[in-house]
Amino acid sequence: MNARPAIESRTDAGGCTEVPVLRERGQREVFCGLTSIIWMHRKIQDAFFLIVGSRTCAHLMQSAAGVMIFAEPRFGTAVIEERDLAGLADANDELDRVVDELLARRPDIKLLFLVGSCPSEVIKLDLSRAAQRLSRKHYPGVRVLSYSGSGIETTFTQGEDACLAAMVPTLPQAAADAPPSLLVVGSLADVVEDQFRRVFDALGVGPVHFFPPRRAQALPPVGPNTRMLLAQPWLADTARLLEDRGARRLVAPMPIGVEGTTAWLHAAADAFGVPAARLDAVTAAARDRAMQALARHRERLAGKSIFFFPDSQLEIPLARFLARELGMRLGEVGTPFLHRAHLAAELDLLPRDVRLSEGQHVDRQLDRCRAERPDLVVCGLGLANPLEAEGLATKWSIELVFTPIQGYEQAADLAELFVRPLARRQKLVA
């Protein structure tokens, strides 16, 4: 087992912050923002996501989430029919009727999102105006907000960014003289959230709020004494709006792997004046356990090469974890969008010779991947089957978004997600 490193006051110098990035534009192979509803509807437990879209949108959601529905779902689709395309007045009336019926049938709904789609944008249905109209009618029992999950020029994790950005204006204002508070921004599985809350409590960091909240009415306050810690790398618009409300972003890598989690917690501890020695003491046992659990996966992964197609926006934090904690060799690390400021601490930790790409020209990238023949490819569902047929082991990137992967307790589970496809491929060729 590797020795547990001491907690230092900053991440390693060097890395590849200035490394050139290959920017590509062309055909892309990604899911649209509607997909994020699959994890968002689990997170905010009294919210409902009403997609205003076509049968295609409904089919996407059913096939992506169908197997996961075990109770009455908290999302649905108001299908835009052909006759709606002819007259917007009809579409608005129809939407009001669907919402009225839904809210009458489901008194448990406290927050309703009207989620725009390609079809609603094509017919220029103004969902923000519809949300205001419906909110006036149903508030205070139900607040109605809107955002776009359309697939045009987006990737699926941006659906969460758009959803949270729509909520920011509804957050209460924290007083200018309120004591400092920590706002953790980005959906985390409840189990992960609970683990982090226990660590913050043990450190004496707080009050701590998580955004999104589990209940629609438990909105966290935001103001000039809010310290914001991003838990996901895809929150460009949300973070900007929170900064406009006075929140200050703490610079940290994502809480992925032992190193990332420690640096992330360290950023919070530092902002609240908690000495590094205290963080060391509070987290020592969990870090030791995680490093022991990672060691057995390192044996399987060290020296193996990995290639990332741009999909979830988690690519850079995952690449950092796999290279530094598991000894994998990074080929191309593609990301749909590179937010240099939010990922500065991640970029600092990547090997200097990493090949970063942003955006996608899928044919050219496939050519590079085939030429490289990596041991493992991380990609979207649409590319996985063809690449498997060509003899490459693949990992679906969307699975990494649905699975709890943050924090010490999940580090080994995350590593195992990369071990499994390699083991499966080995069996196939044996």
Which residues bind to ligand SF4, rule: CB under 6 A?
32, 34, 53-54, 56-57, 60, 117-118, 149-151
CB of 231 to ligand SF4, least distance (A): 25
Q: Give 34 or 241: the residue with its C-beta nearer to ligand SF4.
A: 34
Length of the chain counted residue by residue: 430
Q: Give 53 or 253: the residue with its C-beta nearer to ligand SF4.
A: 53
Amino acid code (one letter) for 144: V
How far apart CA 80 and CA 198 sit, in angstroms, is 46
Q: Give 57 or 274: the residue with its C-beta nearer to ligand SF4.
A: 57
Of 39, 44, 70, 48, residue with least CA distance to 399? 39
Positive or negative torsion for Cα 268, 272, 277, 278: negative
Residue nearest to ligand SF4 as judged by C-beta position: 151
How far apart CA 258 and CA 322 sit, in angstroms, is 11
CB atoms < 10 A from the CB of 363, how many? Answer: 9
CB of 81 to ligand SF4, least distance (A): 15
CB of 409 to ligand SF4, least distance (A): 34
Q: Give 60 or 343: the residue with its C-beta nearer to ligand SF4.
A: 60
CB of 94 to ligand SF4, least distance (A): 18
CB of 382 to ligand SF4, least distance (A): 12
Q: Give 21 or 79: the residue with its C-beta nearer to ligand SF4.
A: 79
**35-59: b or e for each residue (b if 16 or more CB lie within 10 Å)?**
bbbbbbbbbbebbbbbbbbbeebbe
| H runs (alpha helix) in 247-314 | 257-271, 276-301
CB of 75 to ligand SF4, least distance (A): 13
DSSP string spanning 369-428? HHHH--SEEEE-HHHHHHHHHTT-EEEEHHHHHHS--BSTTTHHHHHHHHHHHHHHHHHH
CB of 153 to ligand SF4, least distance (A): 11
Q: Give 32 or 203: the residue with its C-beta nearer to ligand SF4.
A: 32
Residues 6+ apart with CB under 8 A from 45: 74, 214, 215
Q: Give 117 or 262: the residue with its C-beta nearer to ligand SF4.
A: 117
